[in-house]
Amino acid sequence: MKLCIAEKPSVARDIAKVLGADQPKQGYFEGNGYWVTWTFGHLCTLKEPHDYSPHLKSWNLIFLPIIPEPFGIKLIENPGVEKQFKIIEKLVADCEEVINCGDAGQEGEVIQRWVLHKAKCKKPIKRLWISSLTEVAIKEGFANLKPSEDYHNLYQAGNARAIGDWLLGINATRLFTRKFGGNKSVLSIGRVQTPTLAMIVQRQKEIDAFNTEEYWELKTKYRDVIFNAAIDRLKTKEKAEKGLEYLKQNLFEIISFEIKEGKEKNPRLFDLTALQVEANRKFGFSAENTLKYIQSLYEKKHTTYPRVDTTYLSESLHPQIPAILQSMNFYRELTAPLLAQPIPKSKTVFDDTKVTDHHAIIPTEIPPSSSLSREEKLIYDLVAKRFIAVFYPECKISNTLVEGQVGTIPFKTTGRQILELGWREVYSKEKDDTEKKEKEEEQLIPEFKAGEKGPHKPFIHQGKTSPPKAYTEATLLRAMETAGKQVDDEELREMMKNNGIGRPSTRANIIETLFRRKYIERKKKNIFATSTGVELIDTIQDELLKSPELTGEWEFKLRKIERGEYEASQFKEELIAMVTDLTRKVINEKAKVISFQQEVQPKEKKDPTPRKTVAIIWEETDCPKCGENKLMKGKTAIGCSSYKSCGFKLPFIVFGKKLTEKQIQDIIIKGKSSKLKGFTEHPERLTEGILRLTESGTVGLQTE
């Protein structure tokens, strides 16, 4: 029998159906010469310090740095995990060949390799590598199985990443907590989270230190067109008024009038970060939620693999594009012009040299059904329209530059006009706030002739200098992608991805981790560091820990390991040397205890009639989604004890509102809450309503 191991039960079902393994067993499917089983994501993890020696459970500084040799893995302590692993272990022992069907990426490779290592697998291993879960893709993947050795470097990079994160996270967190934490709380340090926090703190300091200054500008109106003086801003009102008097004494003269036709390039296809940025900008979705929605669309076979960092397609995909466009029933009006002629094979879309593990995120030939959630529909629409837009012609524009003069003072104005919509036709029916603002600021410029003169209406514009903008989740993701550098050009940004902080699939989790640890907070769409976050970064003297550029260099080395151009052992040795040096320096530093930010809770009015609330024992309560397992209470949510297979989770904070124990009980037991107020982060900006459990186990907000 051949053993296939998928990363999730749902994926295993899809694979089993294609292979004809249609007999369900306990923990796997069987049939047609195959066993198809699954993990629940991570079944194994790196061992903790106390697993190597009991005395390392102590956070005493004398035991630092902790450097295991060799590093070991263990099963995650969970009854469901242990039960499933025993099934996998037995199947591995009894099979003739293993087919690794984990997610086709670095993390998926590590998940499966650790499980197979723990199961002491000695059988031949092959690799299924696919970019979508459609039947066609699965069949094609099994027809082209790869030797497991082809992905050895990918595993080495993922394993090195995990070991690097462990070395720095365990040692630096214990080191700073014991030295500066004052026994109040854990000071969490991470290879990626700390430089990310440092960027936020640095931006906040720039904002706080910014001194707003008033300035004055000279402007004038000639033939209903506003011209700006092409001189430095004036620092005093007196100078501005003096300049105004001078302008009134002279006629306006046109020096030059120039119109240049140009083209506006098509937008690129989405990688995960770009999709998260756009979803945050348009809908206010967090990076974590966007990843959840696009992952769901992938598992429902509507889009391709989402955890990607390229905006290009493989050249071999070109013949499949018409069939995908043909299947997009909801977008027939937009796809019809494309299907009337051959799809161009442009290097800006199809380029094998720019594709690594996977191509950019695009729709599959399976269109979505009406059962998608509202959020999933919005994300699918972003992916679908971007996919269509890249095959449209470029947008043709005209740029107008007019230069004038009043006496000796030069003036100029610019204008922009769309001549042919091109790819903008795809978005012509939707206008977001940014586009509206741009249109409002545009002015129609008539034809001018050099040398013409006439009266004009000069005036003074008074303004104030603005501080740098606080990070939003969208701009923070971009900053992580470019290691803190401000890069607007898409091509340059593409080149810098190798040196970004973290990977596309992990950045959302890093941001959420900083929120959970109360190092950062959200105010409307903006992200700010808390006093604890600022103090933590100020306490860290070692620039290696908080430098986005240096962390970007580590990421670059990990990608080189992936390509077989750098040794994983060397990366590990460099981190060991850094951690050892850091430990020595910090232990010798003068300790300054960090004061932790306390959450200020609003005072509640006392209810004159006290009510008795019966506390629910979650471990004895059935999961409302699967009904087969009990619930368990975590730090941030109530969830199914078999969460990896079931997926049910009810966070304590929903759409920005912190739920009470009673409200959580109502939702789980009754399926809905009473009418609630105070929601601050709903994508449709709803502030009140009733929370209801959906059939899929998620929570929706209804206004009636």
pLDDT of 456 over the 60 cut: yes
Question: What letter does residue 32 receive in the DSSP assignment?
Answer: T
pLDDT of 540 over the 80 cut: yes
Within 8 A by CB and 6+ apart from 248, the residues are: 458
pLDDT of 293 over the 90 cut: yes
Q: Among 5, 4, 8, which residue's Cα sits nearest to residue 644? A: 8
Segment 458-477 shows an average pLDDT of: 94
Amino acid letter, residue 290:
T
Per residue in 326-353, pLDDT tens?
A: 999 999 999 999 999 999 999 999 998 8
Segment 202-224 shows an average pLDDT of: 94
Q: Give the three-class secondary structure for 397.
A: strand
pLDDT of residue 616: 58
Instruction: List Cα–Cα distances, 483 to 17, 465, 541, 557, 571, in angstroms.
Output: 43, 27, 19, 14, 19
Segment 476-491 shows an average pLDDT of: 76
pLDDT of residue 287: 92
User: How many other C-beta atoms can be found within 10 angstroms of the C-beta atom of residue 483?
Assistant: 24
Amino acid letter, residue 610:
P
pLDDT of residue 504: 85
To which residue do tokens 């025993």 refer? 86
Please confirm, yes or no, whether 305 is among the known catalytic residues: yes
Q: What architecture is domain 160-208+470-587?
A: Orthogonal Bundle (1.10)
- Residue 420 forms beta bridges with which residues? 396
pLDDT of 16 over the 50 cut: yes
pLDDT of residue 596: 53
Per DSSP, helices labelled H in 442-567 are: 473-481, 490-496, 504-516, 531-539, 543-546, 548-562
User: Model confidence at 588, in pLDDT bands (50, 70, 90)?
Assistant: confident
Q: Is 597 in contact with 532 (CB distance < 8 Å)?
A: yes
Q: What is the pTM of this model?
A: 0.76
| Rg for the chain, CA atoms, rounded | 29
Q: Is 426 in contact with 389 (CB distance < 8 Å)?
A: yes
pLDDT of residue 624: 80
pLDDT of residue 233: 94
Amino acid letter, residue 509:
N
| CA 388 and chain centroid, separation | 23
| Set 34, 155, 305, 519: catalytic member | 305
User: Model confidence at 65, in pLDDT bands (50, 70, 90)?
Assistant: very high
Q: Give the three-class secondary structure for 334.
A: helix
User: Model confidence at 63, in pLDDT bands (50, 70, 90)?
Assistant: very high
Segment 513-522 shows an average pLDDT of: 92
User: Model confidence at 626, in pLDDT bands (50, 70, 90)?
Assistant: confident
Rounded distance, CA 654 to CA 680, Å?
9
User: Model confidence at 607, in pLDDT bands (50, 70, 90)?
Assistant: very low
Give me the percent of the chain exceeding a pLDDT of 70. Answer: 90
User: Model confidence at 543, in pLDDT bands (50, 70, 90)?
Assistant: confident
Per residue in 406-420, pLDDT tens?
A: 999 999 999 988 999
Segment 313-336 shows an average pLDDT of: 94
Q: What architecture is domain 272-389?
A: Orthogonal Bundle (1.10)
pLDDT of 15 over the 60 cut: yes
Within 8 A by CB and 6+ apart from 553, the residues are: 499
Segment 379-396 shows an average pLDDT of: 96
pLDDT of 552 over the 90 cut: no
Lowest mean pLDDT among 176-185, 186-195, 431-440, 551-560: 431-440
For 374-401, give one letter per residue: b (16+ CB within 10 A) or e: ebbebbbebbbbbbbbbbbeebbbeebe
Q: What are phi and psi of 423, to 5 degrees?
A: -65, -20
Segment 652-672 shows an average pLDDT of: 84
Distant-in-sequence contacts of 581-587, Cβ < 8 A, 24+ apart? 582/171, 582/172, 582/175, 582/542, 582/544, 582/545, 583/64, 583/65, 583/171, 583/175, 585/541, 585/542, 586/175, 586/176, 586/179, 586/541, 586/542, 587/61, 587/64, 587/175, 587/179
Rounded distance, CA 152 to CA 165, Å?
20
pLDDT of residue 505: 82
Strands 214-222 and 657-658: unpaired
Across 594-704, where does the E strand assignment appear?
A: 631-633, 637-640, 649-651, 653-654, 657-658, 676-677, 688-693, 699-702
User: How many other C-beta atoms can be found within 10 angstroms of the C-beta atom of residue 288?
Assistant: 16
Rounded distance, CA 678 to CA 615, Å?
24
H helices, E strands: number in the chain: 23, 27
- Residue 215 forms beta bridges with which residues? 463
Of residues 43 and 482, more confidence is placed in 43
User: How many other C-beta atoms can be found within 10 angstroms of the C-beta atom of residue 673?
Assistant: 22
pLDDT of 595 over the 80 cut: no
Q: What are phi and psi of 57, to 5 degrees?
A: -65, -30
- Best CATH choice for the domain 2-144 from the list 3.40.50.1010, 3.40.1190.20, 3.40.50.140, 3.40.50.720: 3.40.50.140
Element (H, E) at 157: helix 152-180
Rounded distance, CA 57 to CA 397, Å?
66
User: Model confidence at 496, in pLDDT bands (50, 70, 90)?
Assistant: low
Which tokens is 94 given? 């009894």
To which residue do tokens 């442009």 refer? 346
Lowest mean pLDDT among 109-123, 310-324, 330-344, 545-559: 545-559
Strands 44-46 and 73-75: antiparallel
- Residue 99 forms beta bridges with which residues? 4, 126
Segment 551-567 shows an average pLDDT of: 89
pLDDT of 587 over the 80 cut: yes
pLDDT of residue 594: 58
Q: What are phi and psi of 576, to 5 degrees?
A: -60, -45
Rounded distance, CA 94 to CA 73, Å?
23
Q: What is the mean pLDDT of the chain?
A: 88
Distance between first and last Cα of the chain? 55
Segment 170-184 shows an average pLDDT of: 84
Question: What letter does residue 667 receive in the DSSP assignment?
Answer: I
pLDDT of residue 524: 85
- Is domain 214-266+395-464 given the CATH code 2.70.20.10 in the classification? yes
pLDDT of 604 over the 50 cut: no
Q: Give the three-class secondary structure for 499.
A: helix
| CA 373 and chain centroid, separation | 20
Rounded distance, CA 14 to CA 75, Å?
26
pLDDT of 612 over the 50 cut: no
Rounded distance, CA 386 to CA 311, Å?
11
Instruction: List Cα–Cα distances, 402 to 50, 270, 330, 410, 525, in angstroms.
Output: 73, 37, 44, 11, 38
Q: Among 199, 197, 280, which residue's Cα sits nearest to residue 515? A: 197
pLDDT of residue 602: 34
Amino acid letter, residue 236:
T
The domain segmentation of the chain, as residue ranges, is 2-144, 160-208+470-587, 214-266+395-464, 272-389, 618-702
Residue 462: burial class (beta carbons within 10 Å; 0-12, 13-18, 19+): exposed
pLDDT of 615 over the 50 cut: no
Per residue in 80-107, pLDDT tens?
A: 899 999 999 999 999 999 999 998 888 8
Rounded distance, CA 384 to CA 16, Å?
29
Within 8 A by CB and 6+ apart from 249, the residues are: 407
Segment 39-60 shows an average pLDDT of: 92
pLDDT of residue 71: 95
pLDDT of 488 over the 80 cut: no
pLDDT of residue 3: 97
